[in-house]
Amino acid sequence: MQEDRCLVSCIHEDVIQKITGVSEPNEYLERLAQLFKVLGDPTRVRIIYALMQHELCVCDLAHILQMSQSSISHQLRLLRQNQIVKKRREGKIMFYTLADDFVTKLFVLGMEHVRNETYKEYK
């Protein structure tokens, strides 16, 4: 597509040098990509949204999302492996909460972005 690329070949050496000097290590960029990949699933987003409201057990989440406990447990395992949620056992019940405030902040910023009128213009 012509509209998505430069019409002339031009390298801005000064800008490239600045960016190259402040680059994050690939390990961090890969971990960030993995985080966004995990957050890129609608079911996991719905789980996060529910957990932003209150600590919940697997049974509660299954009921809220109208899914099986097995499916919810699988999604929670992925979220836990990526430090997005944490668990707490109380007797025979496993409760889940968000791992930290960063997840909430990321979610809130993402919601602000998709609710923004300029975002809707690009769709």
Identify the CATH number of the domain in which residue 108 sits: 1.10.10.10
Domain total of the chain: 1
**Considering the domain boundaries, does residue 1 fall inside one?**
no
Residue 85 sits in which domain range?
25-116
pLDDT of residue 75: 97
In the chain, which stretches have pLDDT less than 70?
1-2, 117-123
The pLDDT value recorded for residue 6 is 79
List, in sequence order, the alpha helices (H) in 1-123: 13-21, 26-39, 42-53, 58-65, 69-81, 101-115, 117-122
Q: Is the pTM of this model over 0.95?
A: no
User: 88 lies in a domain?
Assistant: yes
Q: How many CB atoms lie within 10 A of CB 32?
A: 11
Is 5 inside any structural domain? no
The pLDDT of residue 90: 95
Identify the pLDDT of residue 28.
87
Burial class (CB in 10 A: 0-12, 13-18, 19+), 7: exposed
